[in-house]
A = this chain, B = another copy of it.
Amino acid sequence: MATTESWQIAEIAGPKKATLIVKPEVADAMIKRAKHPVLIVGHLAAEIDLDDKKMIDYLLELAQKGNLPVIATGHTNRDFLKRGFTKAKIMPAVEIGQRLTDPEWKGIDGKEPYDLAIFAGLPYYMEWTILSGLKHFAPNLKTMTLDNTYQPHASWSFPNISVKDWIENLKSIIEKVEE
């Protein structure tokens, strides 16, 4: 089902739509190319089962191996803490969304504007609207989602893929991000 169809079928986007991550390499390349990326993790990451683990476990591994700063939205931080990860910055999704539209904002580390924001684990429609905001009002930012649903407003997104494919892709991305 490698189409650019929104997961929630009525959440149709306009002419500019996300490029498909057809292979995990695409995602890796983008992450590696980014000078200042950030990973934004929503609360569903801790609810979604991916075989014996949760989605958040994969994201955490990715963050650690890829050395990505992490923002925990909703109450996700609790689940990071459970996993012993204390470095997540807590910030609501709409707040980080808004800050990313400010070309002056130097990020939570105060270093420089982010050039890649990777979203995962937010409610589909909320991620959709926030990515829309970024598509329109953060022209210098690239966005990516690692959910298994197509997010048309991102710069890159998986199509709607099965959990099996998703796990494989995530594993592969994590593997390669270290290299």
Shortest CB-to-CB span from A16 to chain B, Å, is 9
The digit string for A12-33, where 1 denotes a CB below 8 A from any CB of B, is 1011000000000000000000
Shortest CB-to-CB span from A145 to chain B, Å, is 20
* Size category, A interface: under 10
Interface pair B15/A12, CB less than 8 Å apart: yes
Interface pair A14/B15, CB less than 8 Å apart: no
Interface pair B15/A9, CB less than 8 Å apart: yes
User: With A and B bound together, what is the CA distance between A15 and B11 in angstroms?
Assistant: 9
Residues of A at the B interface (CB closer than 8 Å) are 5, 9-10, 12, 14-15
Interface pair B5/A10, CB less than 8 Å apart: no
Interface pair A5/B9, CB less than 8 Å apart: no
Can you list 7 A-B contacts with CB-CB less than 8 angstroms, sorted by A residue number?
Answer: A5-B15, A9-B15, A10-B14, A10-B15, A12-B12, A12-B14, A12-B15
**Residues on B with beta carbons closer than 8 Å to the beta carbon of A9:** 15
Question: Looking across the interface, which residue of chain B has its beta carbon closest to that of A13?
Answer: B12
Question: Looking across the interface, which residue of chain B has its beta carbon closest to that of A3?
Answer: B4
User: With A and B bound together, what is the CA distance between A107 and B5 in angstroms?
Assistant: 37
**Residues on B with beta carbons closer than 8 Å to the beta carbon of A12:** 12, 14-15
**Residues on B with beta carbons closer than 8 Å to the beta carbon of A10:** 14-15
User: With A and B bound together, what is the CA distance between A12 and B15 in angstroms?
Assistant: 7
